[in-house]
């Protein structure tokens, strides 16, 4: 894989270059936000971009949001020194595909990058039929979503979570089942992480349309009420 790592801690950046290089990847480094954005735009294409969040110049969130604004679908993994729902939600809003909280294990980083590439290579979930629930339509193959005639931008993981709910409209789907379906390495991940994505989905597919279609099923997970207006 060709990977761009944007990280201002030189020691960590060099360690990532050595480690990923030893696994056969080509790694470019940038040490500030402006340089990182410029390289992502002109030195690629990259198979993945690893962005530290706290950077001089532009933050990792800003770099990611600008790449998405360019229409660049490159898989982005954010490295954050903070954890908690707020930061991940911000990363999702910026269009990041995954995140890792520092300090992280190199083995986990390498596995996450492989998973991002698999997803990108597969063009997302299997090209099944277009899913429909009321006026909500999800084209899994094209990774596009719309409600009525308004297109909704979703990240890969939001799309996966929504597809789980839309595959069985009206039926309760357990958080654990969503985790197993959407995450590449679900072992050891708290199923409550799904809440973060559901919260972000509600802000995109429900709130702007005055809907409450994604319902909480207490103690279990969620269900989609497609015709809720
Ligand atoms: Ca930093």
pLDDT at 84: 59
Cβ 184 vs Cβ 149: under 8 Å: no
Which residues touch 84 (CB under 8 Å, ≥6 apart)? Answer: none
In terms of C-beta density within 10 A (0-12 exposed, 13-18 middle, 19 or more buried), how is residue 201 classed?
buried
| pLDDT tens profile 5-15 | 999 999 999 99
Domain 2-122: give its CATH superfamily: Response regulator (3.40.50.2300)
What is the C-alpha to C-alpha distance for residues 160 and 155, in angstroms, rounded to an integer? 9
How many Å lie between the centroid of ligand 1 and the Cα of residue 126?
36
pLDDT at 45: 84
How many Å lie between the centroid of ligand 1 and the Cα of residue 25?
22
How many Å lie between the centroid of ligand 1 and the Cα of residue 6?
9
pLDDT at 194: 95
Cβ 50 vs Cβ 5: under 8 Å: yes
| pLDDT tens profile 121-159 | 776 444 345 788 888 988 877 788 989 888 999 999 999
Pick the CATH number of 130-224 from 1.10.10.10, 3.60.20.10, 2.60.40.10, 1.20.1630.10: 1.10.10.10
Which residues touch 87 (CB under 8 Å, ≥6 apart)? Answer: 53, 80, 99
| pLDDT tens profile 74-114 | 999 999 876 655 577 777 778 899 888 888 888 899 999 98
- Better-predicted residue by pLDDT, 168 or 40: 40
Domain boundaries, the chain: 2-122, 130-224
For ligand 1, an ion, list residues with CB under 5 A.
8, 52, 54
Cβ 36 vs Cβ 4: under 8 Å: yes
What is the C-alpha to C-alpha distance for residues 196 and 202, in angstroms, rounded to an integer? 10
How many Å lie between the centroid of ligand 1 and the Cα of residue 82?
11
pLDDT at 94: 87
pLDDT at 99: 87
How many Å lie between the centroid of ligand 1 and the Cα of residue 51?
9
How many Å lie between the centroid of ligand 1 and the Cα of residue 8?
5
How many Å lie between the centroid of ligand 1 and the Cα of residue 50?
12
| pLDDT tens profile 161-178 | 999 999 887 889 999 989
Of 11-25, 30-44, 126-140, where does mean pLDDT reach its minimum? 126-140
How many Å lie between the centroid of ligand 1 and the Cα of residue 218?
39
pLDDT at 126: 40
């Amino acid at each position: 894989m060709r990977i761009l790592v944007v990280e201002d801690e030189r020691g960590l950046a060099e360690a990532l270059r050595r480690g990923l290089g030893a696994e056969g990847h080509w790694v470019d480094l940038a040490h500030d936000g402006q340089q990182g954005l410029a390289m992502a735009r002109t030195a690629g294409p990259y198979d993945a971009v690893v962005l530290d969040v706290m950077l001089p110049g532009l933050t990792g969130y800003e770099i990611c949001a600008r790449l998405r604004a360019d229409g660049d679908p490159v898989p982005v993994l954010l490295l954050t020194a903070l954890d908690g729902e707020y930061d991940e939600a911000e990363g999702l809003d910026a269009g990041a595909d995954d995140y890792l909280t520092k300090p992280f294990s190199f083995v986990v980083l390498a596995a996450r990058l492989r998973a991002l590439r698999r997803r990108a290579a597969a063009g997302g979930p299997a090209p099944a039929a277009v899913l429909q629930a009321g006026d909500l339509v999800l084209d899994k193959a094209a990774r596009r979503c719309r409600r009525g005639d308004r297109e909704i931008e979703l990240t890969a993981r939001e799309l996966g979570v929504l597809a789980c709910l839309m595959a069985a409209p009206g039926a309760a789907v357990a958080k654990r089942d969503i985790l197993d379906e959407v995450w590449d390495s679900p072992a050891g991940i708290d199923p409550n992480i799904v809440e973060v994505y559901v919260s972000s989905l509600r802000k995109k597919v429900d709130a702007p349309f005055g809907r409450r279609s994604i319902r909480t099923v207490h103690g279990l997970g969620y269900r989609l009420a497609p015709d809720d207006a």
